[in-house]
Amino acid sequence: MDIDVLDAIDGKVILKIKGNLDSYQASIAFKEALDGVYRSGKRDVVLDLDDVEKINSFGTGKILMFYRRFKKDEGELYVKVPLHGMVKEVFEELKLDKLLKDFS
């Protein structure tokens, strides 16, 4: 799995995830990327999951953990829309699509 950290025009950081978020190893890499953004002082983060085909509790757990962390510091975790496939299904089932703000 690869994660690119990009700056958006409006000051948000975009994490472009390439690969699946369905293993312990992937969740650690994802957590480290989010930790790096957090330590840099940025508090508005967009998750670009276009290149993610599978996600499970390893990935969704980290999303929820960092959602709370960024919110506590008056930040926001966004998700790039539209979502597709299994990622869309998981987000809808867990109501993550209602929790995270849309970014398009």
Q: Which domains, from first to last, does the chain contain?
A: 2-103 (3.30.750.24)
pLDDT tens column, 21-32: 999 999 999 999
Full-prediction pTM beyond 0.85?
A: yes
Q: Annotate 4-48 with three-state secondary structure.
A: EEEECCCCCEEEEEECCECCHHHHHHHHHHHHHHHHCCCCEEEEE
pLDDT tens column, 42-97: 999 999 999 999 999 999 999 999 999 999 999 999 999 999 999 999 999 999 99
